[in-house]
Each structure stands twice: as C-alpha cells, then as structure tokens.
C-alpha cells in the first residue's frame, strides 16, 4: 500500500496491523507506554543466539505472529516485528492497542530521513546483473568501486572521535556534519561503528538473547554480529542511504579448514547501495578480532571488509540468497566449502594468489609444495603443527616457495604467515596436509630456520652476488666454500648446526673459517660427519650497537660416511676480518711434527708462533707471513701479533690444539 502525508510519498512493500482479541479485551486498561521507536526489529524470522554467540537465522512461521507473539508480549505495549524472505522482501508487523496510533504511521516523516531516487521511490532495489562482478577475482582492486583511501583520512579521524550525546538520530546527525556524499555518509557510519562497538563475547554465548536495540548498543557499546549489522542498517537509513542486512554462513571465529556448513546461518553483514550498485560491508569483522586462546575481543580496525570486492568477500561470506553474492557466476555452497580460504591479511599484506587452491593437500612421496605470489617483496614464515620445522621456505622477488616434509603419516596443520609493511607476522593461509608416506631420507635439521637460500632480503641486508644462489649445497667430501659480496660497513657471522654429532652451540662456529678478499666474504666449511646441516648467516652494521641479525641459511648435505673433519682453529677478537689463513686450516695439529704456517695479516709489525718455544714468522714478497713450528711437548699452539713496533705487547689471534702423543 502507499500512504501520503505530504508531497513526498513513502512506499511500503507490505504493512500488516494486527489487533489481537486479548488486546481488545484489555483496551480499557492500556497505558501510555510505547515501544522504543528506535528499537531494532526483533527478527522472529531472523537471528537467534547460539553457543558460539552468532545469531542464527530461522524461517518465519506465519502462525507464530498472532498466536504466539501476541500472547507472550505485554498486551499494553506496542511491538514491531520485521521479517525478510529469501528474496529480500520485508514484512513488517505491528501489534498495538486498538486505540493507539500505529508507530509505523508516526514514522511517515521517513521522507526526511530516507531519501528516495529521482522518482521518489525508496524501495531497496534487489541485486541484479548490473551489480554482479566477474568471478574469479581479476586482481584489479580489493574494493568493489574505485577508492582512494587517502581521501578519507580527515573524515576517518573526525568520525572516530564523535561521541554519543543522546540518541541514534543525533549521533548520525553529528557524523554527517563532515559527510557530503552517500559514500562519505556510509564511511563515517562504518568508521564510527568499527571504532566504538565491541563484540560482546558473553552475549554471543547466550542461546536465547533478544535482539539488540540501538539504545542498548549505544549505552553498552557492545553487541554481536546481528547487532552490528542491524545498527549499521539503521544508521544508514537515517542517513538516507539504502542498506540491507544479509544473513549467511561465514568462515570466521572457530572455523576449521575444510568444514562443511548446514542448518542455521551463523553470521550477518550488510549491503549498501552506492552510485547505482550494491556493495558489501562487514562491520563486525572490520572492528577487531577475538583471541581464540583467551576469548577476549581486541579492537583492531580492518579496512578489508569495507566495500570488499565480491569475488574476495565470497571466500568467507556465503549469503542465504545467491543474488547477494553480487557475482557472475554465483558460487554454490559446495564451492564455498571447498575453495581455499585466504584470510583478510592475505590481501591486506599484498598477496595475489596461492597454489594449491584447495585447503586440503595430499603429499606426494612425502612432500607438499606451496607457492604464493605477492605484488611486492614480502617476508614469510610457516608453522607445521605449531613448530617452524620440516620445511624449506625460500623467498622470491614477488612471493615465496615452501617445500614441506611432514615427519609422520597422518593429518597435519600448516600455517603460513606474512610480514608485509608492518613489524608483525600475520597468519594469511592455513592448509590441512594429509600424508600417507614419509621419506626418512629427508630429515631436516631442527635448527634450519627460515628463509633458506639468498634472496632480495639478503641483498637488502648487505649480502650480494652469492656463489651459491640455490638454498641446498651438496658436498661429497664434507667440505665446501661459500662466498658473497658484502656491503661497506657490514660484519658477517656464520654458524653450523646439525642434529647429531659433536656440534654444540659453542663449537658450531669452529667448523667455519671466514676469510675476506676485496669486499667479498668467503666461508670455508668442514663437516664433522655425514648428514644434513644448517649453515646460518648473520649480519650487523659494524658501527652500530646491538646483536647480529639472522638473514638466511643454507642446507648442507653430505652422504659420505667417511667424512670426519676437525674444527678450524679458534680465532680471537684481534683476528681481523681482512686477514687470510692459508695453512694450517685444521684446528688440531699432529704431535711431534714441524708444521708450516702461512697467513696474510694486515696492520701488524711482527708475528710469531708460540708453543713449547717461540718461532717468528717472516713477511714474504707476496705479503704473507710464513714460518714453521714444532708441536713437540705441546698441547696448544698460538699465533700472536705485535701491532705497534714501539710496544712489546703481543695479542693472541689464533689457537690450535695438539693431538695427544
């Protein structure tokens, strides 16, 4: 029907005013109390509380209006109930005393609030072909309309600081002071809700929670997803912007990778009509998150869920009506369940795609490979069953590659994290790995950290042009030499780590001897036995305080069971980075032998070798200090230098052990 109060008409799809027999009987005893005209419609055909706190939508039973509601409600109080069918049609029912004016009639000043189109029509248009976006995502934008978020900076700052003074109408009026378009009106409402309304954990856990009223939400500044969506819709309508609440399934808090959905819906969000098309928002997820370990809500604004591109929104939102997907072609529930779930941080941090595109992966010969493409260089890490083990993660200029080797047969949880422009790693992907075979020959060292191999990040940290660009180095005799350019002012530190044998934290660096030649560092490595080892590389700016920073590591592999190399000699602080040791490289010398020494030492006046006796080293024409010493009667041999010819104080730079006789 259509009612007119002034020159502007308001069209109402369906309006039903019911007078119950009980109300007629009680008509003489009614009071002047009326329902809160600002209350959100209690959705008997809508959301009901469940254990996880997200109100679930149920189908509306027509008999329930007259027979059940009218009997249960206070006969002297006006009640307004709104319901939507799966096509979006709204049915509004008002139950009130016979002699009272219907609240719906009092609201025909809606023309002042809800601006109609050029024809004066305020009926929300159902989504159609012009609203649909192509699926899959074309990578053009995270948003469903062109946006420059910088244009919102002042507006966002203003909206986030607006406070509630009285009711909802005044709050919206205050917010609209700085908004000059429908887009800006929606933006200030979105920002205010996301920065002021907290997810109500306790209410979320109550099964029979009544619908949230705007007055209660503004007073407590808490609600659940139904309250978020209802408040957003009400504020938009007051602001004159068409808005709908959309129920459906979600991959939110408590979602398990690969789970199926059935029965009642578990979430609600909104669609807003801007510039001739429908767009999607979720202010619940835009406001923050719930910590699964503490069940506490934290405000953490998430821009992703404002006007999200529908091809991305469908990854974690499945509406009751497929038309509200705003997609062409629409996705089925089965596709929604099976499709890979990219968390919002996946896109917030610049990820574009991931392979495989399914959330459950079966290993092949004990191995699974995951690749991610990003729009810019990004740091990644992973966890398999909560530990950073059993994988090789290598960085690429625009993404990463991860080879994962589950240690046991069965089901495993794989999480992938990305750093992006922030200092915090955020979870961006989760996979379920199903492994039916374990290759025991691919046991990786527990100390093999991520990433493996040189990359754009190592270049950024001052390590360039590596001799071994591949992260895995195979050696047949247990020895290898790795070199790379080093930027000016950068110090390099390396250590060796394995799961078996004599290597400890203290001796891990003794199987590596570091040399420097013309702005290149060389790492000579000798393995103590066959196996797999992590060669870790650290850097530090020489003139700055602080510790060395881990950059990357190599995986060293040797299958030769005869390998048994000793440690290199121990070096002391006065061993300069530009020094070079040619011989002896072994840190353990034979007993009762004359052992030759040859070193290149810079900036010293004298050099000698000290054992049972002292043997001077002489400087040859090529710039090397040479000589020999006897190990007879010695347990240790030292190389010492005199830096200033005018002094008599010698410094220790190298230490060797002598085999027992």
Question: Are residues 178 and 155 in contact, defined by beta-carbon separation less than 8 angstroms?
Answer: yes
Helix (H) or strand (E) holding 246: strand 243-250
CA 458 to CA 166: how far, in whole Å?
A: 57
Cis peptide before 584 (omega within 30 of 0): yes
Report the phi/psi class of residue 307: left, alpha or beta, with left for phi > 0 and alpha for psi in -120 to 50. left
The residue whose two tokens read 């260089």 is: 377
CA 315 to CA 307: how far, in whole Å?
A: 14
Instruction: Name the pairing type of β-strands 133-134 and 479-486.
Output: unpaired
Question: What residues form DSSP beta bridges with 1?
Answer: none
Provide the strand spans (E) within 468-508.
472-474, 479-486, 490-498
- Distances 461 to 454, 487, 492 between C-alpha atoms, Å: 11, 9, 11
Residue 215 phi/psi, 5-degree rounding, is -60, -40
Residue 249 phi/psi, 5-degree rounding, is -90, 155
Q: How many CA atoms lie within 13 A of 549 on its CB side?
A: 14
Question: Are residues 374 and 394 in contact, defined by beta-carbon separation less than 8 angstroms?
Answer: no
Residue 16 phi/psi, 5-degree rounding, is -125, 120
Question: What residues form DSSP beta bridges with 243?
Answer: 272
Q: What would the DSSP string read from start to end of 549-616?
A: EEEEEEEEEE--TT--PPPPPEE-TTS-TT-EEEE---SEEPTT-EEEEEEE--S-SEEEEESSSEEE
Structure tokens at 461: 């940290």
CA 537 to CA 454: how far, in whole Å?
A: 10
Read off the DSSP letter of residue 367: B
CA 479 to CA 470: how far, in whole Å?
A: 17
Enzyme catalytic residues = 225, 267, 282
Q: How many CA atoms lie within 13 A of 253 on its CB side?
A: 23
CA 426 to CA 414: how far, in whole Å?
A: 14
CA 544 to CA 551: how far, in whole Å?
A: 17
Q: What 3-state class would DSSP assign to 256?
A: coil
The dihedral through the CA atoms of 218, 223, 227, 232 has a sign that is positive
Report the phi/psi class of residue 303: left, alpha or beta, with left for phi > 0 and alpha for psi in -120 to 50. alpha
Structure tokens at 502: 């004599």
Structure tokens at 552: 């990357």
CA 44 to CA 83: how far, in whole Å?
A: 7
CA 69 to CA 16: how far, in whole Å?
A: 14
Residue 393 phi/psi, 5-degree rounding, is -110, 115
């Amino acid at each position: 029907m259509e009612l007119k109060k002034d020159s502007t008409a308001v069209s109402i799809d369906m309006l039903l005013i019911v007078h119950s027999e009980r109300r007629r009987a009680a008509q003489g005893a009614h009071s002047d109390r009326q329902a809160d005209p600002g209350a959100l419609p209690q959705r008997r055909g809508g959301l009901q509380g469940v254990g996880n706190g997200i109100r679930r939508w149920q189908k509306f039973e027509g008999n329930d209006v007259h027979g059940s509601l009218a009997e249960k409600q206070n006969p002297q109080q006006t009640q307004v109930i709104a319901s939507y069918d799966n096509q979006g049609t709204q049915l509004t029912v008002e139950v009130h005393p016979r002699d009272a004016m219907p609240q719906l009639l009092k609201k025909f000043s809606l023309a002042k609030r809800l601006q109609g189109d050029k024809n004066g029509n305020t009926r929300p248009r159902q989504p159609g072909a012009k609203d649909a976006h192509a699926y899959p995502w074309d990578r053009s934008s995270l948003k469903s309309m062109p946006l420059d978020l910088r244009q919102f900076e002042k507006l966002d700052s203003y909206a986030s600081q607006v406070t509630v003074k009285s009711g909802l109408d005044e709050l919206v009026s205050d917010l609209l002071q700085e908004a000059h378009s429908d887009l800006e009106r929606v933006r200030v409402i979105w920002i205010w809700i996301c920065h002021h309304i907290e997810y109500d954990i306790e209410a979320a856990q109550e099964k029979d929670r009544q619908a949230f009223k705007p007055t209660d939400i503004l007073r407590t500044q808490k609600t659940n997803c139904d309250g978020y969506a209802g408040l957003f819709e009400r504020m938009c309508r007051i602001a004159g912007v068409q808005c709908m609440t959309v129920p459906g399934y979600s991959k939110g808090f408590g979602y398990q990778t690969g789970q199926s959905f059935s029965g009642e819906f578990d979430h609600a969000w909104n669609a807003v009509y801007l510039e001739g098309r429908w767009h999607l928002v979720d202010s619940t997820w835009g406001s923050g998150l719930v910590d699964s370990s503490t069940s506490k809500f934290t405000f953490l604004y998430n821009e992703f869920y404002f006007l999200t591109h529908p091809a991305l929104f469908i990854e974690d939102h499945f509406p009751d009506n497929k038309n509200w997907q705003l997609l062409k072609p629409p996705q089925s529930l089965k596709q929604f369940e099976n499709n890979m779930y990219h968390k919002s941080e996946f896109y917030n941090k610049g990820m574009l795609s991931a392979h495989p595109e399914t959330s459950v992966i079966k290993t092949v010969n004990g191995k699974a490979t995951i690749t991610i493409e990003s729009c810019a260089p990004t740091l990644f890490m992973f966890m398999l069953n909560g530990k950073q083990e059993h994988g090789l993660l290598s960085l690429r200029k625009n993404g990463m590659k991860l080879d994962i080797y589950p240690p046991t047969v069965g089901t495993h949880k794989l999480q992938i994290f990305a750093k992006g422009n922030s200092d915090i790693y955020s979870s961006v992907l989760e996979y379920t790995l199903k492994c039916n075979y374990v290759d025991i020959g691919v046991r990786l060292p527990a100390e093999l950290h991520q990433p493996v191999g040189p990359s754009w990040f190592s270049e950024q940290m001052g390590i360039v042009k590596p001799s071994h660009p591949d992260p895995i180095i195979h050696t047949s005799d247990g020895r290898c030499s790795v070199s790379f350019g080093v930027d000016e002012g950068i110090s390099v530190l390396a250590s060796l780590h394995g799961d078996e044998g004599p290597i400890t934290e203290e001796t891990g660096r003794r199987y590596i001897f570091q040399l420097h030649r013309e702005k290149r560092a060389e790492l000579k490595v000798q393995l103590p036995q066959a196996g797999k080892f992590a060669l870790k590389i650290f850097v530090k700016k020489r003139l700055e305080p602080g510790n060395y920073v881990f950059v990357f590591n190599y995986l060293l592999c040797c299958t030769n069971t005869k390998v048994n190399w000793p440690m290199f000699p121990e070096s002391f602080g006065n061993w300069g980075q530009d020094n070079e040791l040619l011989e002896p490289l072994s840190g353990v010398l034979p007993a009762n032998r004359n052992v030759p020494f040859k070193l290149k030492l810079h900036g010293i006046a004298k050099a000698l070798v000290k054992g049972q006796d002292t043997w001077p080293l002489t400087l040859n024409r090529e710039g090397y200090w040479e000589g020999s010493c006897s190990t007879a009667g010695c347990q240790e041999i030292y190389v010492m230098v005199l830096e200033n010819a005018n002094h008599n104080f010698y410094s220790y730079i190298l230490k060797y052990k002598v085999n027992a006789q």
